[in-house]
Amino acid sequence: MNEKTINYDQVSKVYDKVRVGDPEMVQQILDGVSLSKESMVLDVGCGTCNNTLLLAATSCSRVIGLDLSLGMLREASAKSHSLPLLQAAADVLPFSNESFDFVFMTEVVHHLHDIDMAVSEIFRVLEDLGGFCIVTQSHRQIAGRMTSRFFPATIEVDQARYPDIDVLEGSMLAAGFHQVDPREYTFRPVHLGEDYLMTVSKRGYSMLHKIPDDDYNRGLSDLQDAFQKGEELTYSAGYTFLWGFKN
């Protein structure tokens, strides 16, 4: 299969039309860490800062968003003039040692060029006793997606892109994290309506940019047929929250 490159600056122009912040995901993160108004928090791969802003508003902590895509950061800056934003790669963080109390990344790890280096950099910028949370999907959870039903080619694509949980655990342990703890969580069931169809039709999920156009068009047609026939599409997303702490 030919690898397709995603232009995230281009994606940023439609990203917020098809993707929103996830309060349930953010709450799961906050349930796993103790933060105060003085806590320094870094969102690595913040995108347009949907989850970044949710976490900042809920925790009242001092949060910084970091992303490699200037287009994503421009969209984010239009939402908040007070949220600090930086353009940088995750594997070369522009911060001094022990700068943050907590670092998180939501649905980002499969976009990283050098996961081991990124995890090592996150370990470096964390304070002693600082926490780190990766929100991702295991290979089994990828196969169970609704998009995997209509676009089966995305299973192979994303299982190749996503490091499975044992690989991420190994990377975190090698970097020096202790108490590495993967916690699976199944989100409440949701009915997939016209907003889901719109997201798919705009290729709002990155893996849809990675499959051949024929596979995409076939899957979109099958999905449209399911809607036209009145099929009830209900999905409970499964995620893994991988926690690690420094010392």
Q: Is 40 a member of any domain?
A: yes
- Contact, 153 vs 212, CB < 8 A? yes
Q: Is 103 a member of any domain?
A: yes
Q: Identify the pLDDT of residue 3.
A: 43
Q: Which domain holds residue 118?
A: 8-246
Nearest to 182 by CA among 164, 163, 167, 169: 169
Q: Write down the mean pLDDT value for the chain.
A: 92
Q: Identify the pLDDT of residue 18.
A: 43
Output the pTM of the full model: 0.88
Element holding 234 (H helix, E strand)? strand 234-235
Q: Report the share of the chain in percent with pLDDT over 70.
A: 91
Q: Is 147 a member of any domain?
A: yes
Residue 20 has pLDDT above 80, yes or no: no
Q: Is 129 a member of any domain?
A: yes
Pick the residue with more confidence: 216 or 21? 216
Residue 8 has pLDDT above 70, yes or no: no
Q: Is 164 a member of any domain?
A: yes
Q: Is 112 a member of any domain?
A: yes
How many structural domains comprise the chain?
1
Residue 15 has pLDDT above 60, yes or no: no
| Per-residue pLDDT reduced to its tens digit, 52-100 | 999 999 998 999 999 999 999 999 999 998 999 999 999 999 999 999 9
- Contact, 116 vs 175, CB < 8 A? yes
Residue 201 has which token pair? Answer: 């039709």
Q: Is 1 a member of any domain?
A: no
Q: What is the dihedral of CA 75, 78, 82, 86, to 10 degrees?
A: 30
What are the residues whose beta carbons fall under 8 Å from the beta carbon of 78, sequence distance 6 or more? Answer: none
| CATH code of the domain covering residue 27 | 3.40.50.150
* Cα 146 to Cα 88, 102, 152, 172, 190, distances in angstroms: 33, 32, 10, 30, 11
Q: Is 31 a member of any domain?
A: yes
| Per-residue pLDDT reduced to its tens digit, 202-222 | 898 889 999 999 999 999 999
- Rounded-to-integer distance, Cα 113 and Cα 247, Å: 26
